[in-house]
Structure 1
Amino acid sequence: MITHPSQDFLALVEALLFALSPSEQAPDAVLTQLHALFGPMLVSALQLVDRRDVVKVSLPGGRFVHQVTSSAGAPYTLYLDLPSPPVVPAADLTQPPTQAPSPTYVSPKSPASDAQAGGDASNEAQGDDASPLSPPSQAPKLGRMICPCTGFAFNTLTAPRSIFCKHILAVLLADRLGKVVDTTVPLAAAAGLLGLGGAGG
Structure 2
Amino acid sequence: MRATLPVVVEELLSEIASTCRDLAKVPDELLLALKFLFGPSAVQALDLVDRHSVTRISSPSGRIVYQVLGSSGKVYTCFASCHYCSCPAFTFSVLRKSDSLLCKHLLATYLSLAMGVCQDLSVSNKQLAGILLAQEDPEG
Letter of the aligned partner of 2:16 in structure 1? L
Letter of the aligned partner of 2:92 in structure 1? F
Deviation at 1:198, TM superposition (A): 8.9
Give the 3-state SS of the residue equivalent to 2:6 in structure 1. Answer: helix
The answer to whether the 8 Å contact 2:66/2:80 transfers is yes
What percentage of residue pairs aligned between the two structures are identical? 37
Deviation at 1:45, TM superposition (A): 0.1
1:180 matched to 2:93? The reply is no
What RMSD in Å do the two structures reach over aligned CA positions? 2.2
Can you list the C-alpha shifts for 1:38-65, whole angstroms capped at 9, x where unaligned?
A: 1111000000001010000011212211
Partner of 1:36: 36
Deviation at 1:72, TM superposition (A): 3.0
1:19 matched to 2:15? The reply is yes
Partner of 2:99: 161
Letter of the aligned partner of 1:45 in structure 2? A
The answer to whether the 8 Å contact 2:45/2:108 transfers is yes
Letter of the aligned partner of 1:16 in structure 2? L
> How far apart are the structure 2 equivalents of 1:28 and 1:184?
34
Give the 3-state SS of the residue equivalent to 1:162 in structure 2. Answer: coil
* Structure ID, larger Rg: 1
Higher strand share: 2
Q: How many pairs were matched up?
A: 131
Instruction: Note closer, same or farther for the CA distance 1:148–1:174 as it changes in structure 2 (3 Å cut).
Output: same
Unaligned runs of 5+ in 2: none
> How far apart are the structure 2 equivalents of 1:40 and 1:29?
16
Deviation at 1:148, TM superposition (A): 1.2
Can you list the C-alpha shifts for 1:4-62, whole angstroms capped at 9, x where unaligned?
A: xxx9x811111111111332211211111111111111000000001010000011212
Give the 3-state SS of the residue equivalent to 1:175 in structure 2. Answer: helix
> How far apart are the structure 2 equivalents of 1:186 and 1:146?
23
Q: 1 or 2 for the larger relative contact order (CA 8 Å, sep ≥6)? A: 1
TM-score by length of 1: 0.60
Partner of 1:55: 55
Partner of 1:95: none
Can you list the C-alpha shifts for 1:130-173, whole angstroms capped at 9, x where unaligned?
A: xxxxxxxxxxxxxx511111101111111111110001100110
Unaligned runs of 5+ in 1: 1-6, 82-143
